[in-house]
Structure 1
Amino acid sequence: MQVDSSTTIASSTSASAAISSGKPWSTVANVSRPDILYPTTCLETLPTVTTLTCHQGSRYMLPTALVDVRNTQNRYVTCSVLLDSASELSYISERCARALGVPRSPSRIAVSGISSVKAETTCDCCTLYMKSKVSQDTPDVSVHVLSKITSAIPTSQINTPTMEQLKDLNFAVFNASSPIGILLGVDQVWKIFTFNNIFDSSGNPIAASIIFGCVVTSVQASIDNVVSAFVTTIDIDRSLPKFWQIEKALHPLPLDAKNVHVETHFLETHARHSDGKYIVELPFREKGIKFGNTLQGATLRFNAVERRQLRDSHLRKQYIEFMNKYTRLGHMRELKSDEVVASDSHSFYMPHHPIIKPKLHVVFVRLFQDTSGVSLNSTLHTGPSTQPNLFDLCLRFCLHKYIFSADIVKMFRQIWVSENHRNYQRIVWREDSSEKLKYFILCTVTYGTSCAPFLSVRVLEQLAKDHQRRYPLAAKIILEDFCVDDVSP
């Protein structure tokens, strides 16, 4: 595949010609891979012993060199370079690029290797200015930045007989294992070779001349065969009880004192209207709660929202439609003039603002604080979780032939708030900025309050209990096989 350096996202394939006798592995797009043989373990049973065996044979040396590269201070720094004629592009490691401090430009190229294994995506590209130690050549190379190119190379030293044959040559190669900072691909490799090869006594090529000196090629490194065994014993006394714990049925934990109070409060205060609607009180942490002034802050917030509406006529139209529908449904009502007391400590005015996702919703800010720094949510109990145990629910899920997934429309707003608590849900609103500011109270449970999820699910549970005798099958489904996974407006 031809890769243009200006391409935003492309594919680069690398397959090094150096293949060891025991492990056919190349640079794999020049990203390191662990050079070990992993043990095969059985996933179906818990093993008591784990054994790992690693056998290594002979390998061939990859062509590497030490090259001087110019940094941002115009000084030359020696970097380790790997030559890979099977890589379409040239690369530099993140660590080496930072050490040189060279300027970068954005570049995102997907890199893959043998068997189309996806390695990673380059993050930047930069230009390197190199200098030869043995000639006047100063090539400049365009490279792409990867987090890491490969593991330390060479993994073993050149054997002694070969080093004796090469001792009189001007080498650019490094014989000690070192992290690779730069990889020169096919776009650069053939430019730096001078094609003067060095052969051993048998006629085999062992080194090649490049503009930076000589590099070792096709040299076999002698590696002793290594067999290692690692044994891990398993503590059966700790492992076996885990099976019992998985199979053990979990019993619901008893409610703590706070949640007992919330449950008791619900049972004592909830009521039902003649039309079937449930009426609840807000579970305050303390009785007779008093708030500081919230009207002034709520008014300032509303003025900001109103200015936003004046700049966006479509938003203003949607906002008005939402609030008018809220009123038509009876979910909020306008307060009379004698009901509005600015300094009333037993009321709470909430700011509101629009959220488009993609349909417009008006969000009432329950975290808004009064002049004393107290928010409405901070004075309310969250309530216990009334959802059934998820593990039990999943087991019963398999017993049914049909499963229903549905949405309860306006779930929170199907529940009404008691008259004596509605003053804690006041807002300011008007359709036209030329009109006088109006004051409203929200009559139903409002999303955003900390107790809203508990009240909605608890009322649903209470509905099942109230009609358990008349509709036993439906009540059983609600109480045992019902789960609300997204309690939202």
Structure 2
Amino acid sequence: QFKSKIHSNKTNSQVKTSLFSSEKSGSSPSHQNNQQSKESSCVICGSQHNLTNCIKFHSMSAKQRVESLSKWKGCKNCLSSAHNTHKCSSKWSCRFCHHRHNAMLHIPTSQDLNNSQVNLNPQSPSSNSETSFQVSPALSSTSHVEVQVLLGTAIMEIQDSRGHFHRIRAVIDSGSHFSFITQKFFNKLGMSLVSCSKRISGIGQTLFEGIKGQLPCKLRPRNRVTPQVNVDALVVNNITNYLPTVSVPSHVTQHYSNFDLADPKFFEPASVDFLLGGDMFGEIWMGEPISVGENLPKVFKSIFGMIVIGKYFDDQNVYNSNTSLFVTQEPDCLTKELSRFWELEEPVASHTPILSDEERQCEEHFSSTHYRLESGRYVVKLPFIEQPPDFSYSSYIAMKRYKNLEYKLNKNQDLKMKYDEFMSDYVKLGHMTSTNSVSKFVIPHHPISKIDRGEVKLRVVFDASVKTSSGSLNDSLHVGPKLQNDIRHILLNFRRHPIVFVTDIVKMYRQILIDSDDRAFQHIYWRFDSSKPIQKFELNTLSYGLASAPYIALRVIRQLCIDEGHR
């Protein structure tokens, strides 16, 4: 175990490692004479500042800077107007060619292609380790040339749960075994996830454990209804930063104006919400690559249109790019699985659980927002992860599902009678009231019934996990930490006493009130008589179907012990 140290290289570098590089565009910082006196007005813009502080000067390309200072009598080494270049006392020179001019005035040439340097040196271990990961030798790579690489992007359409198609920007990556979609775009589709246990690893076999599930997708070109391809995409929080990382200059893009491009704005940095991997590469590729010129990206024909991929040489702009690649070694999958097995078999002593950041936020939310009425009943607010989105489409889904439910109940009078009894009890106890207020989320509901000793038992389920164009209500709520006791502890404690009382809290969830500000997220559709208009009701108590309901119910009991335990 040791800390890794990242040493900045004093050369202007541009290195890309697929989607793993981190870049910042801008000009290289220039060296200055520490003894430089106060400057007069700027030779470029006329303002009262040094040339090195001129925004307009920094925005120019190296070639434009040289041309602007061609008749200037100041120093082209330290950019001072107090003396000329021959009288400059600065020990610094150009970091690229070591000539007596400023690095901001260096114009890269094609000869710089041979000046790339690669250094592979293991770093010495440090005794002050703060991480459990072992870091292998670091690879740092630098280059004096401005070679940019375009990863192929395409605008395609993806089908949602209602059969409608939405445009999505994808990157084509033949080096990936799987295809991926972002969680943000998945929420818009209103589709259901399929659980999966795929093992994903990147460079250096680094494991990635952020897979939310698998989504069956149907894709088609943006301007045609055929062909259509089916692909299984893994849902992740994020795929990559904006692509391309910098804007492609016009002298490059002009070569592609006559092509039917899959991404007409491939030259503008924009977000990517889909990665089409090697599993579909052979399905979309058509024909041979087309060359448009030397040192320019090639054009590949696909079912989505022409895709631009490859490198180009940009000698008009200077960009800083720092890329560090570290190979991390983690315990292998088998060791992890065995560890989980051992943890299940190991008796655990009672201790305070370690909360994750989200669990801690949920706990802090409850502690700061719950309150009690004079009757002693607890009132809570829903623990949203962040500001809840617009769930207006939920009313359409809930209405459609309610009409299907009503049709089903009208065909089964025994089930309808039980359902009416349940809803009547809800209204009678004040747990549900009719409302005309604006809905923030309308929850669909359906019955679950079983026959117990010849009697039909019915339970109404409120489906807060139903997907809308903005995701589901449960997607926006904290689940909260696990407060249930381990079953092993319960069984062991059960044996400690000769007499044990087993009790049940009647309508446990419905003993807890929801704050009036949050009840608009708990609206439902219902009517007792199908000949009358459908009504909108507001659930005043904690609903069964909320992801945070188990945590809130047990947390209220714990709070009751804290508030009343002394009695």
Question: Under a length normalisation based on structure 2, what TM-score does the superposition of the two structures give?
Answer: 0.37
Which structure: larger Rg? 1
TM-score computed with the length of structure 1 as normaliser:
0.43
